[in-house]
């Protein structure tokens, strides 16, 4: 098998020609696998990400944690000097909302939307349970409950209960909350087998949609792509931020559009306390006509080591506790 000149040129332009160093030692099958890996890479994206991270590392070494550069890169500003609270008009709190209003959020807004098939939940489940001491997907982990239920089972049963509540409230049998699950190359197959072997814990298979996030090649400090084998690149899942690309390229946005979904609740697999499709939270979002919202908990005490959501310039973002002085906290 010969290498197309265009591939050589792409590698040369991206300063990754070393990926072909062992070409002469590979058999036909290995060469094909290597070329498949290379052809999947968006080199422009990889190079841009590398230089972005490199600049961040340099900045971290030269700029204190609570300072940022202004747009002209000349004036340093403290985050504390420009951060503002989120305006009261676009926030809400269960503890400060009347029972009557909570019922409106719960019933009129969210449960009605669920009964009409407008709500889905989207699970980020690309991680393995390495930090939990297991080598399988986190969702399959038994957290030690008396019931021995896994994270996947707990979440599936909460979806079933939500559908049941909507059915009872609006006298229907058609309430559906589709469960979209973003996996990775490390968790896709095991998750699929696990859910199928457990009959999707009572959910209809057509309403449990798995899709795989993309990967990015691993780089050394010089920006060179690492080889796991002479014919195989070292790759890793592109993180939770890879959700948006995967939604588009895996056809999930089209599937959501086909199902006429309007409201999406996104959560992480190891959040055992999550209220899936939280009726009050989503009802609040519907009432406020919010394009995007985040759910948070109040600090236990001012100096608790957790980030806070603030307005910085004209953008809403998390400001980490390490960026805030004790006085500001």
77: pLDDT strictly greater than 80 = no
Residue 274 located in a structural domain: yes
Residues 6+ apart with CB under 8 A from 155: 123, 139, 179, 269, 274, 276
* Residue (of 124, 228, 135) closest to 184 by Cα position: 124
Domain containing 26 equals 5-75
The CATH number given to whatever domain includes residue 233 is: 3.90.550.10
220: pLDDT strictly greater than 70 = yes
Query: Which three-class secondary structure state does DSSP give residue 41?
Result: coil
* Residue (of 102, 159, 116) closest to 262 by Cα position: 116
71: pLDDT strictly greater than 60 = no
Q: Give the DSSP per-residue string, 49-103.
A: HHHHHHHHHHHHHHS-TTEEE-TTSS-EEEHHHHEEPPPGGG---GGGS-HHHHH
Residue 81 located in a structural domain: no
Do 177 and 113 sit in the same domain of this protein?
yes
Mean of the per-residue pLDDT values of the chain: 90
75: pLDDT strictly greater than 60 = no
Number of domains in the chain: 2
pLDDT value at position 108? 73
Residue 304 located in a structural domain: no
Residue 303 located in a structural domain: no
Q: Which residues are registered as beta bridge partners of 312?
A: 83, 315
At 45, the pLDDT band (50, 70, 90 cuts) reads confident
Do 233 and 142 sit in the same domain of this protein?
yes
Contact 236, 185 (CB under 8 A): no
pLDDT value at position 109? 78
At 307, the pLDDT band (50, 70, 90 cuts) reads very high
Mean pLDDT of 204-226: 95
Do 13 and 128 sit in the same domain of this protein?
no
226: pLDDT strictly greater than 80 = yes
d(Cα 60, Cα 5) in Å, to the nearest integer? Answer: 40
- Between the alpha carbon of residue 172 and those of residues 168, 192, 263, the distances in Å are 7, 30, 20
More confident residue, 76 or 95: 95
Do 66 and 92 sit in the same domain of this protein?
no
At 62, the pLDDT band (50, 70, 90 cuts) reads low
Mean pLDDT of 318-326: 87
pLDDT value at position 95? 87
Least confident of 54-68, 260-274, 308-322: 54-68
pLDDT value at position 237? 85
Which pTM value belongs to this model?
A: 0.84
Percent of all residues in the chain with a pLDDT value above 70, rounded to a whole number = 94
Question: 180 — phi, psi (to 5°)?
Answer: -95, 130
pLDDT digits (tens, 9 = 90+) for 165-186: 999 999 999 999 999 999 998 8
């Amino acid at each position: 098998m010969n290498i197309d000149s265009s591939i050589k040129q792409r590698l040369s332009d991206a300063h990754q020609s070393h990926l072909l160093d062992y070409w002469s030692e590979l058999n036909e099958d290995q060469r094909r696998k290597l070329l498949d890996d290379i052809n999947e890479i968006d080199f422009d994206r990889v190079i841009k990400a590398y230089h972005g991270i490199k600049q961040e590392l340099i900045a971290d070494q030269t700029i204190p944690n609570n300072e940022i550069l202004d747009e002209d890169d000349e004036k340093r500003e403290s985050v504390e000097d420009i951060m503002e609270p989120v305006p009261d008009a676009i926030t809400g709190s269960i503890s400060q909302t009347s029972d009557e209003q909570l019922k409106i959020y719960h019933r009129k807004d969210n449960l009605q939307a669920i009964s009409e098939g407008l709500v889905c939940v989207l699970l980020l489940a690309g991680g393995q349970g390495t930090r939990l001491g297991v080598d399988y997907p986190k969702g399959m982990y038994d957290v030690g409950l008396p019931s021995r239920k896994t994270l996947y089972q707990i979440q599936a049963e909460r979806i079933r209960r939500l559908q049941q509540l909507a059915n009872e409230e609006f006298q229907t049998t058609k309430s559906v909350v589709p469960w979209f699950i973003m996996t990775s190359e490390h968790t896709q197959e095991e998750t699929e087998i696990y859910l199928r072997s457990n009959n999707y814990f009572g959910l209809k298979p057509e309403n449990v949609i798995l899709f795989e996030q993309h990967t990015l090649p691993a780089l050394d400090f010089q920006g060179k792509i690492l080889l796991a084998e002479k014919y195989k690149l070292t790759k890793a899942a592109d993180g939770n931020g890879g959700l948006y690309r995967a939604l588009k390229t895996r056809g999930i946005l089209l599937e959501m559009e086909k199902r006429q979904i309007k409201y999406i609740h996104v959560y992480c697999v190891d959040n055992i306390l999550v209220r899936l499709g939280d009726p009050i939270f989503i009802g609040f979002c519907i009432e406020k006509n919010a394009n995007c919202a985040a759910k948070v908990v109040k600090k236990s005490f001012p100096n608790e080591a957790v980030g806070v959501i603030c307005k910085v310039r004209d953008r809403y973002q998390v400001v980490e506790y390490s960026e805030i002085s004790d006085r500001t906290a």
